[in-house]
Amino acid sequence: MTTRVTKAVFPVAGLGTRFLPATKSVPKEIMTLVDKPLIQYAIDEARAAGIEEFIFVTARGKSALEDYFDHAPELETRLAEDGKDQLLDVLKSTYMPSGAIAYIRQHQAMGLGHAVWCARNLIGDEPFAVILPDDVIAAEKPCLQQMVEAHRETGGCMVAAMEVPNERTSSYGVLDVEAGQGDTMKVRGMVEKPKPADAPSNLAVIGRYILSPQVMQHLDSVEKGAGGEIQLTDAIAKEIDSPRGVFGHRFSGERYDCGSKAGFLQATVAFGLARDELRDEFGQYLHEMMAIRNAAQ
Protein backbone atom coordinates (compact mmCIF):
# COMPACT_ATOMS: atom_id res chain seq x y z
CA MET A 1 0.00 0.00 0.00
CA THR A 2 1.42 3.41 -0.95
CA THR A 3 0.55 6.53 1.06
CA ARG A 4 -2.21 8.66 -0.44
CA VAL A 5 -0.94 11.78 -2.23
CA THR A 6 -2.73 14.80 -0.75
CA LYS A 7 -0.23 17.66 -1.16
CA ALA A 8 0.81 19.41 -4.34
CA VAL A 9 3.49 22.01 -4.99
CA PHE A 10 2.91 24.61 -7.71
CA PRO A 11 6.14 26.40 -8.66
CA VAL A 12 4.86 29.80 -9.80
CA ALA A 13 7.82 32.07 -9.10
CA GLY A 14 9.00 32.41 -12.72
CA LEU A 15 9.24 35.87 -14.28
CA GLY A 16 7.39 34.90 -17.45
CA THR A 17 9.68 37.00 -19.62
CA ARG A 18 8.48 35.22 -22.76
CA PHE A 19 5.13 36.95 -22.29
CA LEU A 20 6.34 40.51 -21.81
CA PRO A 21 4.87 43.08 -21.76
CA ALA A 22 1.78 41.25 -20.35
CA THR A 23 3.81 39.74 -17.50
CA LYS A 24 5.05 43.18 -16.44
CA SER A 25 1.97 43.37 -14.22
CA VAL A 26 0.13 40.05 -14.65
CA PRO A 27 1.70 36.84 -13.36
CA LYS A 28 1.84 34.42 -16.28
CA GLU A 29 -0.20 31.88 -14.29
CA ILE A 30 -3.12 34.36 -14.34
CA MET A 31 -3.03 34.53 -18.13
CA THR A 32 -6.29 33.29 -19.49
CA LEU A 33 -7.10 30.29 -21.59
CA VAL A 34 -10.61 31.09 -22.92
CA ASP A 35 -11.94 32.37 -19.56
CA LYS A 36 -9.94 30.58 -16.90
CA PRO A 37 -6.44 31.47 -15.70
CA LEU A 38 -3.78 28.82 -16.26
CA ILE A 39 -3.51 28.27 -12.52
CA GLN A 40 -7.19 27.29 -12.30
CA TYR A 41 -6.65 24.47 -14.81
CA ALA A 42 -3.79 23.22 -12.62
CA ILE A 43 -5.88 23.46 -9.44
CA ASP A 44 -8.84 21.68 -11.03
CA GLU A 45 -6.55 18.87 -12.17
CA ALA A 46 -5.03 18.56 -8.70
CA ARG A 47 -8.45 18.47 -7.01
CA ALA A 48 -9.62 15.75 -9.40
CA ALA A 49 -6.60 13.69 -8.35
CA GLY A 50 -7.47 13.97 -4.65
CA ILE A 51 -5.10 16.79 -3.65
CA GLU A 52 -6.23 18.62 -0.52
CA GLU A 53 -3.29 20.91 0.26
CA PHE A 54 -2.01 23.36 -2.33
CA ILE A 55 1.43 24.89 -1.88
CA PHE A 56 2.37 27.78 -4.14
CA VAL A 57 6.00 28.74 -4.42
CA THR A 58 5.74 32.39 -5.43
CA ALA A 59 8.02 35.40 -5.74
CA ARG A 60 7.85 39.16 -5.65
CA GLY A 61 5.26 40.61 -8.03
CA LYS A 62 2.91 37.64 -7.73
CA SER A 63 0.33 39.13 -5.37
CA ALA A 64 -2.37 39.03 -8.08
CA LEU A 65 -2.03 35.27 -7.92
CA GLU A 66 -2.61 35.23 -4.16
CA ASP A 67 -5.63 37.54 -4.56
CA TYR A 68 -7.11 35.28 -7.20
CA PHE A 69 -7.92 32.63 -4.60
CA ASP A 70 -9.56 35.05 -2.18
CA HIS A 71 -13.30 35.09 -1.75
CA ALA A 72 -15.07 37.96 -3.52
CA PRO A 73 -18.05 38.90 -1.28
CA GLU A 74 -19.14 42.02 -3.25
CA LEU A 75 -19.17 40.12 -6.52
CA GLU A 76 -20.98 37.24 -4.86
CA THR A 77 -23.72 39.50 -3.45
CA ARG A 78 -24.20 41.25 -6.78
CA LEU A 79 -24.49 38.01 -8.76
CA ALA A 80 -26.93 36.59 -6.17
CA GLU A 81 -29.10 39.76 -6.27
CA ASP A 82 -29.14 39.68 -10.06
CA GLY A 83 -30.11 36.00 -10.05
CA LYS A 84 -26.99 35.07 -12.05
CA ASP A 85 -26.77 31.64 -10.49
CA GLN A 86 -24.58 30.08 -13.16
CA LEU A 87 -21.94 32.78 -12.82
CA LEU A 88 -22.19 32.46 -9.06
CA ASP A 89 -21.38 28.76 -9.40
CA VAL A 90 -18.39 29.60 -11.62
CA LEU A 91 -17.17 32.08 -9.01
CA LYS A 92 -17.59 29.61 -6.18
CA SER A 93 -15.75 26.89 -8.11
CA THR A 94 -12.59 28.99 -7.67
CA TYR A 95 -12.90 29.13 -3.87
CA MET A 96 -10.62 27.03 -1.76
CA PRO A 97 -11.31 25.97 1.82
CA SER A 98 -9.52 28.12 4.42
CA GLY A 99 -6.17 26.61 5.31
CA ALA A 100 -5.94 24.54 2.12
CA ILE A 101 -3.56 26.99 0.43
CA ALA A 102 -0.08 27.96 1.53
CA TYR A 103 2.24 30.45 -0.11
CA ILE A 104 5.99 30.19 0.19
CA ARG A 105 8.40 32.72 -1.23
CA GLN A 106 11.36 31.74 -3.36
CA HIS A 107 13.71 34.62 -2.68
CA GLN A 108 16.13 33.96 -5.51
CA ALA A 109 15.49 32.44 -8.94
CA MET A 110 17.74 29.39 -8.60
CA GLY A 111 15.80 26.89 -10.67
CA LEU A 112 12.87 24.49 -10.48
CA GLY A 113 14.60 22.17 -8.01
CA HIS A 114 15.25 25.06 -5.65
CA ALA A 115 11.61 26.24 -5.95
CA VAL A 116 10.32 22.80 -4.97
CA TRP A 117 12.85 22.58 -2.12
CA CYS A 118 11.44 25.84 -0.68
CA ALA A 119 8.28 23.83 0.20
CA ARG A 120 10.17 21.13 2.16
CA ASN A 121 8.86 22.05 5.63
CA LEU A 122 5.26 21.83 4.44
CA ILE A 123 5.76 18.48 2.75
CA GLY A 124 7.32 16.54 5.61
CA ASP A 125 7.57 12.80 5.19
CA GLU A 126 4.90 12.11 2.56
CA PRO A 127 4.89 11.60 -1.19
CA PHE A 128 3.75 14.78 -2.92
CA ALA A 129 2.78 16.01 -6.36
CA VAL A 130 4.35 18.82 -8.38
CA ILE A 131 2.37 20.53 -11.12
CA LEU A 132 3.90 23.01 -13.58
CA PRO A 133 0.95 25.17 -14.65
CA ASP A 134 2.63 26.05 -17.99
CA ASP A 135 1.98 22.50 -19.12
CA VAL A 136 -1.75 22.33 -19.75
CA ILE A 137 -3.05 18.86 -20.48
CA ALA A 138 -6.45 18.19 -22.03
CA ALA A 139 -7.50 14.66 -21.13
CA GLU A 140 -10.67 12.73 -20.49
CA LYS A 141 -9.21 11.55 -17.18
CA PRO A 142 -7.03 14.36 -15.81
CA CYS A 143 -3.30 13.57 -16.15
CA LEU A 144 -2.44 13.71 -12.44
CA GLN A 145 -5.31 11.35 -11.67
CA GLN A 146 -3.94 8.89 -14.24
CA MET A 147 -0.59 9.13 -12.49
CA VAL A 148 -2.00 8.75 -8.96
CA GLU A 149 -3.67 5.53 -10.11
CA ALA A 150 -0.47 4.22 -11.68
CA HIS A 151 1.54 5.30 -8.62
CA ARG A 152 -0.68 3.19 -6.38
CA GLU A 153 0.87 0.16 -8.11
CA THR A 154 4.47 1.34 -8.25
CA GLY A 155 5.15 3.71 -5.33
CA GLY A 156 8.46 5.58 -5.72
CA CYS A 157 8.75 8.64 -7.94
CA MET A 158 6.69 9.09 -11.06
CA VAL A 159 7.02 11.64 -13.85
CA ALA A 160 4.65 12.29 -16.75
CA ALA A 161 6.27 11.29 -20.04
CA MET A 162 5.69 12.04 -23.69
CA GLU A 163 7.64 11.57 -26.92
CA VAL A 164 8.92 14.83 -28.42
CA PRO A 165 10.70 15.46 -31.75
CA ASN A 166 14.42 14.53 -31.45
CA GLU A 167 15.54 18.09 -32.09
CA ARG A 168 13.53 19.34 -29.07
CA THR A 169 15.24 17.30 -26.33
CA SER A 170 17.23 20.32 -25.12
CA SER A 171 14.00 21.87 -23.81
CA TYR A 172 13.14 18.96 -21.51
CA GLY A 173 14.19 16.46 -18.93
CA VAL A 174 14.74 13.26 -20.95
CA LEU A 175 14.29 9.66 -19.78
CA ASP A 176 16.28 6.52 -20.39
CA VAL A 177 13.94 3.52 -20.15
CA GLU A 178 14.18 -0.10 -21.18
CA ALA A 179 12.22 -0.76 -24.39
CA GLY A 180 9.07 -2.84 -24.50
CA GLN A 181 7.42 -1.71 -21.26
CA GLY A 182 3.78 -0.55 -21.15
CA ASP A 183 2.63 2.96 -20.31
CA THR A 184 4.33 2.85 -16.91
CA MET A 185 8.05 2.43 -17.42
CA LYS A 186 10.90 1.87 -15.00
CA VAL A 187 13.44 4.64 -15.49
CA ARG A 188 17.16 3.80 -15.55
CA GLY A 189 18.47 7.28 -16.27
CA MET A 190 17.29 10.85 -16.68
CA VAL A 191 19.05 13.98 -17.82
CA GLU A 192 18.03 17.64 -17.91
CA LYS A 193 17.96 19.41 -21.28
CA PRO A 194 20.44 17.28 -23.24
CA LYS A 195 21.46 18.21 -26.77
CA PRO A 196 19.82 15.81 -29.25
CA ALA A 197 23.17 14.05 -29.80
CA ASP A 198 23.52 13.37 -26.06
CA ALA A 199 19.88 12.49 -25.32
CA PRO A 200 19.23 8.91 -24.18
CA SER A 201 15.86 8.93 -26.03
CA ASN A 202 13.15 11.34 -27.13
CA LEU A 203 10.93 10.50 -24.16
CA ALA A 204 10.51 13.83 -22.34
CA VAL A 205 9.37 14.69 -18.84
CA ILE A 206 6.19 16.80 -18.81
CA GLY A 207 5.29 19.00 -15.85
CA ARG A 208 3.50 16.49 -13.60
CA TYR A 209 5.37 14.63 -10.88
CA ILE A 210 4.62 12.43 -7.88
CA LEU A 211 7.72 12.43 -5.71
CA SER A 212 8.96 10.50 -2.70
CA PRO A 213 9.88 12.75 0.24
CA GLN A 214 13.52 11.66 -0.15
CA VAL A 215 13.70 13.93 -3.22
CA MET A 216 13.62 16.90 -0.82
CA GLN A 217 16.72 15.52 0.90
CA HIS A 218 18.48 15.10 -2.43
CA LEU A 219 17.60 18.72 -3.23
CA ASP A 220 19.47 19.73 -0.06
CA SER A 221 22.73 18.58 -1.54
CA VAL A 222 22.31 18.47 -5.32
CA GLU A 223 24.79 20.62 -7.24
CA LYS A 224 23.85 23.19 -9.84
CA GLY A 225 23.05 21.47 -13.12
CA ALA A 226 21.87 22.48 -16.60
CA GLY A 227 21.72 26.26 -17.06
CA GLY A 228 23.56 26.77 -13.75
CA GLU A 229 20.32 26.02 -11.86
CA ILE A 230 19.28 23.55 -9.16
CA GLN A 231 17.40 21.03 -11.28
CA LEU A 232 14.52 18.88 -10.05
CA THR A 233 15.49 16.25 -12.63
CA ASP A 234 18.92 15.79 -10.97
CA ALA A 235 17.36 15.22 -7.53
CA ILE A 236 14.83 12.72 -8.92
CA ALA A 237 17.64 10.89 -10.76
CA LYS A 238 19.22 10.17 -7.36
CA GLU A 239 16.18 8.00 -6.55
CA ILE A 240 16.71 5.69 -9.54
CA ASP A 241 18.93 3.25 -7.65
CA SER A 242 16.93 3.45 -4.40
CA PRO A 243 14.60 0.57 -3.49
CA ARG A 244 11.70 2.90 -4.37
CA GLY A 245 12.75 3.64 -7.93
CA VAL A 246 11.58 6.13 -10.56
CA PHE A 247 8.86 5.53 -13.13
CA GLY A 248 7.77 7.39 -16.25
CA HIS A 249 4.08 7.32 -17.05
CA ARG A 250 2.98 7.85 -20.63
CA PHE A 251 -0.31 9.67 -20.03
CA SER A 252 -3.20 9.86 -22.44
CA GLY A 253 -4.19 13.38 -23.42
CA GLU A 254 -3.00 16.37 -25.38
CA ARG A 255 -0.31 18.55 -23.81
CA TYR A 256 0.05 22.25 -24.61
CA ASP A 257 3.19 24.20 -23.79
CA CYS A 258 1.57 27.38 -22.50
CA GLY A 259 5.00 28.69 -21.59
CA SER A 260 5.47 29.49 -25.29
CA LYS A 261 3.41 31.85 -27.42
CA ALA A 262 2.71 29.28 -30.13
CA GLY A 263 1.69 26.70 -27.51
CA PHE A 264 -0.58 29.17 -25.76
CA LEU A 265 -2.31 30.04 -29.04
CA GLN A 266 -2.74 26.36 -29.90
CA ALA A 267 -4.27 25.75 -26.49
CA THR A 268 -6.61 28.71 -26.95
CA VAL A 269 -7.87 27.25 -30.24
CA ALA A 270 -8.24 23.73 -28.82
CA PHE A 271 -9.97 24.78 -25.60
CA GLY A 272 -12.15 27.28 -27.49
CA LEU A 273 -13.32 24.60 -29.93
CA ALA A 274 -14.01 22.25 -27.01
CA ARG A 275 -16.57 24.66 -25.52
CA ASP A 276 -20.21 24.13 -26.52
CA GLU A 277 -21.05 27.84 -26.50
CA LEU A 278 -18.09 28.77 -28.73
CA ARG A 279 -17.64 25.79 -31.02
CA ASP A 280 -19.87 26.91 -33.90
CA GLU A 281 -19.00 30.58 -34.09
CA PHE A 282 -15.30 30.15 -33.38
CA GLY A 283 -15.00 27.09 -35.64
CA GLN A 284 -16.66 28.97 -38.49
CA TYR A 285 -14.28 31.89 -37.99
CA LEU A 286 -11.20 29.64 -38.04
CA HIS A 287 -12.49 27.96 -41.14
CA GLU A 288 -12.87 31.32 -42.93
CA MET A 289 -9.45 32.48 -41.74
CA MET A 290 -7.80 29.37 -43.13
CA ALA A 291 -9.64 29.75 -46.45
CA ILE A 292 -8.43 33.35 -46.77
CA ARG A 293 -4.90 32.34 -45.80
CA ASN A 294 -4.84 29.44 -48.27
CA ALA A 295 -6.20 31.62 -51.09
CA ALA A 296 -3.47 34.17 -50.46
CA GLN A 297 -0.70 31.56 -50.74
Binding site for ligand G1P (CB under 6 A): 112, 132, 135, 172-173, 192, 204-207, 232-233, 259
C-alpha to C-alpha distance for 172 and 166, rounded to whole angstroms? 11
Q: Which of 109, 142, 129, 188 is nearest to 41 (CA)?
A: 142
**Residue 29 or 192 having the CB closest to ligand G1P:** 192
The CA-to-CA distance between both ends of the chain, in Å, stands at: 60
Report the nearest approach of ligand G1P to the CB of residue 204 (Å): 5
**Residue 124 or 227 having the CB closest to ligand G1P:** 227
Report the nearest approach of ligand G1P to the CB of residue 196 (Å): 15
C-alpha to C-alpha distance for 151 and 129, rounded to whole angstroms? 11
Report the nearest approach of ligand G1P to the CB of residue 11 (Å): 8
Report the nearest approach of ligand G1P to the CB of residue 229 (Å): 8
**Residue 79 or 246 having the CB closest to ligand G1P:** 246
Report the nearest approach of ligand G1P to the CB of residue 207 (Å): 4
**Residue 79 or 210 having the CB closest to ligand G1P:** 210
**Residue 156 or 173 having the CB closest to ligand G1P:** 173
Closest residue (Cβ) to ligand G1P? 173
Report the nearest approach of ligand G1P to the CB of residue 126 (Å): 22
**Residue 10 or 79 having the CB closest to ligand G1P:** 10
